[in-house]
Every structure is written in C-alpha cells, then in structure tokens.
C-alpha cells in the first residue's frame, strides 16, 4: 500500500494567485490539475513535492471554446468534457472520438487535457492526435503569454519547455477543413497505448491545396510528424494513397524515432509503426472514398 | 514563520451514501483511506493502487473515480456513493439483484467496483448495449475473468427497465 507524503495545498482562484505561489516556492511547488499522473509518481516516491497548486478553481480554465477558425481547450478541461463537447464533435470529431478511449472511464472523469500535455507522458493519445491538429500551447505568466507549438513544447519523455513560473492555460487546435477524411489508430495491451497513429487527408478544394497530416506517437520520447511523407501523399489521389500505403508506411518506419521500454523494443515499435501507418492509410483512403472499412485488428482501437 | 495561508488540513463537508459528514482531512489524505479507515466503509478495495483495476471505484457526484488516487479534499461539497449505499435498507439495488441472478460474482474482490461502475453507466444510459457495457467496464478488472456474466447481468438489468 502506498501513501502520499504530506504536502501543502494551495487552491488559487486566479492565475495571478497561482503565479504568486509558483514564484514564491519555485521548483518545490507543482501544478495540479487532476492528479491522475502526478499523484501516482508522488505515491511511488518518484517525485517529491512540497506543495501542490490546484489550478482547477481558476475560472474559465476548463472552457472549450471557438476562437476564429480555431478551437481552444482550456487546460483543466477533463477528457470526459472533451468527449461530450458539442463544439469538438462538430469541429474536431476525431478529438471527441479519441477522448472516449483515453485510459479508462475513471481517469477520463478526473484527468485533464492540460495535465496530460504538461506531464508529457510519451504514451499519450492526446499529444499524438493534437500534433496532427497543429496544436499550439498557451503558456501564461505575469510578464505575458507565449504560444508554443506542441512539437516545441514537448522536449522529450516527461520533459517540456514550460518554465517553472509558467502556467499552461490551454491548447489551441486548428480543425481540419470540411471534407477531411481521418482516423486514429491506437494499439497496445497495457493501460497506456503502445502506439498511436493520427492521419488526416484533405482533398484539394476551394482554392486550397490538398493536405495530409500524419502523426505517430507513443513509440518514442515524443510524437512526430512526417513532413516529407505528408508532401508526397498530398500529391496522390485516394486510390493511389491506398495502393501506395505500404511504401508510405515503410518511409514512416524508416523516419520514426523509437525507444525501448516496457511496451517493447525499439525495433519492434519501428515495425509496428510500419504496420499501423499502412493500416491508417488504407482506412483513411477508404473513408475518403465514402466507405467505412470493416477491418478489425487485435488490441487495436480504430476511431 | 508559520504558513497561515495554506492550512495543513481542510474541513470537508460532504454526503456519503446520503448521510451528511464533516471531517478534517490533511491535504495528502486519499479518499480511499478516509472511506475505509475514518468512515469504516470497507466496500471499496485497495488493489492495484494505480487507477487501472477499478476495485476502489466510488462515485463522486455520480462520476466514477479511483478512490486510491483521489485526494479526499476534493470531495468537499460532493455526494459520494459507495457500494454500501447502493441498497435501500434491505432492498437491494436492481443491479445487485442482477449480479446475483446471473452469477456475476466469483471471488468477489472486484465486485464492489464493478457495481459502482455499472451503476454510473446505467445512470447515464439506462439500457446500454453489450458493446457499451464492455467499453465502460474496460477499466474494471476481474482476475477470475468472469466478464461474460458481468456483462450479462448489467445488460439484463438495463433491459428490465428497473435501473
């Protein structure tokens, strides 16, 4: 049985109050937005925290709202809120769909989007999918606000570019244009995903060129995009995408950075990347052609 | 200088199984320990201790949470429901009846968590499909592997319209 060591708890109601605590206590204070990851590490004694700063009471921080052409998910929005958000179901249906499969129902009711991203667990469906939505993170501190792309925010496993006095307030998603076919594939036998693939194919139209977005995550220290493969694939029609899926998948497997951990060896994950990127292209090509593929794969969730 | 801004313990007022309760709890107290050791409610079990197995599932304002990894201070002002609060006196919850009828219990260790997750599901969706039940219970492990009867019981309870 594992117990928590004693700590102090602050419950600020404004960002200013939260920032004051962070400034005063520096690295001894940790932001707390749900605790589904942080409390586990604290229970195991892997991190020592003197002070938790609960940001869930900061007003507006859990909102999910449209801003111009983007959707902003507040840092303390719970996975469950993402799952049932009418705005996300309309503008980013894959985000709502994937939220339904994050961890388990208890974690979804307690864990938050901001907590997930700021914790930077390499096995994150949220980070893998959001990378394909060109997510930008909003980091607040008294001196001002800055925005970082998710790719720049995530430095590696459990490591981010957030400074000690900064508070992650939200994440801005750039919804894919109407007519985009997409899929998220998640594979694994453990609680956290072993591999995630997000793929979106937008046909040319309305003066905009065709676009392909491919993100692979959970297999290495942080999720990755594949600009060269995306450019190649964007030049292909739907039928060609399906036919060339094996070659595109091989290119992704060659380019992906993998790491060995309890989910498997680096080589195994490279091979699984090849397998699942191919499947993702096949599924999205089918969806782009108006068909829902019937294929089912072991230990795999297809959203 | 003593830190007066952040008290080391918090007064929480909540209802547990519809009974009002007021407690002083330290910030680091886990809900599971408060329920089991302070309130004597032993139905929620400590098992995996990492939010994976579901044996410690209780409902906080209707939502299932892992009490093993949930700060007790968070339940201030909330309604907490544990397995002890499912029955109404001697009248069992229809789910409990369905579990008995379908033999959805083997060793019994996961049962309280299963019941609480299933109760949360039926409150949300009174007649769930098998697929929905299986998806919802993904985070509740039965190491006797008696899943089929569990799903049978929950689906049947939904179909009876007595949820």
Q: Are residues A138 and A196 in the same domain?
A: no
C-alpha span between A66 and A168 (Å, rounded): 18
8 Å CB contact of A104 and B54: yes
Residue B148: CB partners within 8 Å, gap ≥ 6? none
Mean pLDDT across the stretch A151-163?
97
Domain termination residue (choose one: A173, A193, A215): A173
Q: Are residues A87 and A104 in the same domain?
A: yes
Residue in A275, A201, A274 with CA at minimum distance from that of residue A231: A201
Q: What percent of chain A has pLDDT over 70?
A: 99
Confidence of residue B1 (pLDDT cuts 50, 70, 90): very low
8 Å CB contact of A8 and B64: no
How many CB atoms within 10 Å of residue B131?
Answer: 9
Residue B3 has pLDDT above 80, yes or no: no
Of the partner residues A4, A7, A104, the one whose CB lies closest to the CB of residue B138:
A104
Q: Are residues A200 and A297 in the same domain?
A: yes
Confidence of residue A27 (pLDDT cuts 50, 70, 90): confident
Q: Are residues A93 and A140 in the same domain?
A: yes
Angle between helices A227-234 and A245-255 (to 10 degrees): 170
Domain termination residue (choose one: A152, A173, A194): A173
How many CB atoms within 10 Å of residue B125?
Answer: 14
Residue A281 has pLDDT above 50, yes or no: yes
Q: What is the CATH number of the domain that holds A139?
A: 3.30.465.10
Confidence of residue B7 (pLDDT cuts 50, 70, 90): low
Report pLDDT digits (tens) over B100-158.
999 999 999 999 999 999 999 999 999 999 999 999 999 999 999 999 999 999 999 99
Of the partner residues A36, A51, A105, the one whose CB lies closest to the CB of residue B117:
A105
Query: How far are the Cα atoms of A32, B24, B39 from residue B13, in angstroms, in the given order?
Result: 22, 9, 13
- Collapsed DSSP state (helix, strand, coil) of residue A183: strand
Task: Mutation target for B interface from A106, A121, A123, A125: give the one with most B CBs within 10 A.
Answer: A106
- Domains assigned to chain B: 9-85 (3.10.20.30), 94-160 (1.10.150.120)
8 Å CB contact of A6 and B8: yes
pLDDT computed for residue A136 by the predictor: 98
- Name the domain count of chain A: 3
Q: Are residues A78 and A149 in the same domain?
A: yes
Domain that holds residue A236: 181-302
> Could you tell me the pTM of the whole model?
0.95
Residue A293: CB partners within 8 Å, gap ≥ 6? A282, A283, A286, A287
Q: Report chain A residues touching chain B, CB-CB < 8 A.
A: 1-10, 35-36, 39-40, 43, 51-52, 80, 100, 103-107, 109-110, 191
Q: Which DSSP letter does residue B109 get?
A: T
Of the partner residues A4, A109, A191, the one whose CB lies closest to the CB of residue B30:
A4
CA distance, residue A237 to nearest chain B CA (Å): 35
C-alpha span between B162 and B96 (Å, rounded): 12
In a domain, A139, yes or no: yes
Report pLDDT digits (tens) over A251-265.
999 999 999 999 999
What are phi and psi for residue B59, nearest 5 degrees? -105, 130
Helices (H), A52-171: 79-84, 86-91, 93-99, 105-110, 113-119, 125-131, 150-153
Q: Are residues A253 and A273 in the same domain?
A: yes
In a domain, A213, yes or no: yes
Q: Are residues A268 and A226 in the same domain?
A: yes
Q: Are residues A192 and A290 in the same domain?
A: yes
Angle between helices B94-101 and B111-124 (to 10 degrees): 120
pLDDT computed for residue B4 by the predictor: 44
Nearest CA in chain B to A36: B69
Of the partner residues A2, A6, A109, the one whose CB lies closest to the CB of residue B63:
A109
pLDDT computed for residue A1 by the predictor: 65
pLDDT computed for residue A34 by the predictor: 93
pLDDT computed for residue A298 by the predictor: 95
Query: Which residues of chain A make contact with B27, given a CB cutoff of 8 A?
Result: 6-9, 52
8 Å CB contact of A43 and B27: no
Mean pLDDT across the stretch A202-227?
92
Q: Are residues A245 and A273 in the same domain?
A: yes
In a domain, A59, yes or no: no
CA distance, residue B52 to nearest chain A CA (Å): 7
Query: Which residues of chain A make contact with B124, given a CB cutoff of 8 A?
Result: none
Q: How far apart are the first and last CA of chain A?
A: 37
More confident site: A207 or B74: B74
Q: Are residues A135 and A193 in the same domain?
A: no
ipTM for the whole complex: 0.94
Report pLDDT digits (tens) over B30-81.
999 999 999 999 999 999 999 999 999 999 999 999 999 999 999 999 999 9
In a domain, A30, yes or no: yes
Tokens linked to A25? 């206590």
More confident site: B99 or B162: B99
CA distance, residue B6 to nearest chain A CA (Å): 6
In a domain, A75, yes or no: yes
Query: Which residues of chain B make contact with A1, given a CB cutoff of 8 A?
Result: 46, 49
Q: Are residues A38 and A106 in the same domain?
A: no
Helices (H), B48-129: 94-101, 111-124
8 Å CB contact of A107 and B51: yes
Q: What is the CATH number of the domain that holds A255?
A: 3.30.390.50
Residue A241 has pLDDT above 80, yes or no: yes
In a domain, A1, yes or no: no
> Could you tell me if A169 and A140 are in contact, meaning their C-beta atoms sit under 8 angstroms apart?
yes
Residue A291 has pLDDT above 50, yes or no: yes
C-alpha span between A281 and A201 (Å, rounded): 9
Across the A/B interface, how many CB contacts are shorter than 8 Å?
77
Residue A127 has pLDDT above 50, yes or no: yes
Task: Mutation target for B interface from A7, A105, A108, A190: give the one with most B CBs within 10 A.
Answer: A105
What are phi and psi for residue A260, nearest 5 degrees? -80, 135
Residue A25 has pLDDT above 50, yes or no: yes
Residue A69 has pLDDT above 60, yes or no: yes
Confidence of residue A209 (pLDDT cuts 50, 70, 90): confident
Report pLDDT digits (tens) over A107-125.
999 999 999 999 999 999 9
Q: What is the CATH number of the domain that holds A37?
A: 3.30.43.10
Question: What's the mean pLDDT when you consider all of chain A?
Answer: 96
Residue A64 has pLDDT above 70, yes or no: yes
Of the partner residues A4, A100, A106, the one whose CB lies closest to the CB of residue B51:
A106
8 Å CB contact of A40 and B70: no
Q: What percent of chain A has pLDDT over 90?
A: 93
User: Which position has the token pair 């693939």?
Assistant: A197
> Could you tell me if B14 and B21 are in contact, meaning their C-beta atoms sit under 8 angstroms apart?
yes
8 Å CB contact of A2 and B69: no
In a domain, A3, yes or no: no
Nearest CA in chain A to B47: A1
C-alpha span between A151 and A127 (Å, rounded): 9
Burial pattern B75-109, b for ≥16 Cβ within 10 A else e, equals beebebbbbbbbeeeeeebbbbbbbeebebbeeeb
Domain termination residue (choose one: A156, A173, A190): A173
Q: Are residues A202 and A292 in the same domain?
A: yes
């Amino acid at each position: 049985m594992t117990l928590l060591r004693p700590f102090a708890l602050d419950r600020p109601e404004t960002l200013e109050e939260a920032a004051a605590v962070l400034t005063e206590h520096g690295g001894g204070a940790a932001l707390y937005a749900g605790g589904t990851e942080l409390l586990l590490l604290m229970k195991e004694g892997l991190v020592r925290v003197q002070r938790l700063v609960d940001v869930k009471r900061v007003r507006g921080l859990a909102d999910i709202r449209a801003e111009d052409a983007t959707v902003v998910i507040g840092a303390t929005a719970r996975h469950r809120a993402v799952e049932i958000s009418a705005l996300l179901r309309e503008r980013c249906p894959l985000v709502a769909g994937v939220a339904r499969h994050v961890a388990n129902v208890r974690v979804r009711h307690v864990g938050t989007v901001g907590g997930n991203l700021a914790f930077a667990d390499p096995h994150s469906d949220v980070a893998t999918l959001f990378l394909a939505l060109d997510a930008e993170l909003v980091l607040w501190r008294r001196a001002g606000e800055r925005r970082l792309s998710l790719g720049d925010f995530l430095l590696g496993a459990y490591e981010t570019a957030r400074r000690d006095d900064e508070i992650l307030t939200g994440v801005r998603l750039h919804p894919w244009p109407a007519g985009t076919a997409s899929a998220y594939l998640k594979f694994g036998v453990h609680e956290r995903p072993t591999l995630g693939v997000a793929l979106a194919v937008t046909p040319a139209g309305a003066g905009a060129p065709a676009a392909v977005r491919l993100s692979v995550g959970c297999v290495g220290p942080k999720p990755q995009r594949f600009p060269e493969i995306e450019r190649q694939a964007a030049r292909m029609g739907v039928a060609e995408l399906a036919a060339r899926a094996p070659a595109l998948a091989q290119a992704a497997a060659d380019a992906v950075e993998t790491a060995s951990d309890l989910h498997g060896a680096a080589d195994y994950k490279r091979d699984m990347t090849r397998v699942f990127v191919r499947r993702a292209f096949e599924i999205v090509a089918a969806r782009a052609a108006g068909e829902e593929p019937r294929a089912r794969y072991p230990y795999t969730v297809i959203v | 200088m003593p830190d007066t801004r952040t008290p080391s313990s918090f007064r929480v007022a909540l209802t547990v199984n519809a009974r009002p309760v007021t407690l002083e709890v330290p910030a680091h107290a886990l809900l599971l320990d408060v329920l089991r050791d302070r309130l004597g409610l032993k139905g929620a079990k400590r098992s995996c201790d990492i939010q994976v197995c579901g044996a410690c599932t209780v409902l906080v304002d209707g939502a299932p949470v892992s009490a093993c990894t949930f700060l007790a201070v968070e339940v201030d002002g909330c309604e907490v429901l544990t397995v002890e609060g499912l029955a109404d006196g001697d009248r069992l919850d229809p789910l409990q009846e369905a579990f008995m009828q379908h033999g959805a219990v083997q060793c019994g260790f996961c049962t309280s968590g299963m019941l609480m997750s299933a109760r949360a599901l039926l409150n949300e969706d009174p007649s769930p499909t098998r697929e929905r039940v299986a998806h919802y219970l993904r985070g509740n492990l039965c190491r006797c592997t008696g899943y089929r009867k569990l799903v049978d019981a929950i689906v049947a309870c939904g179909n009876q319209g007595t949820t």
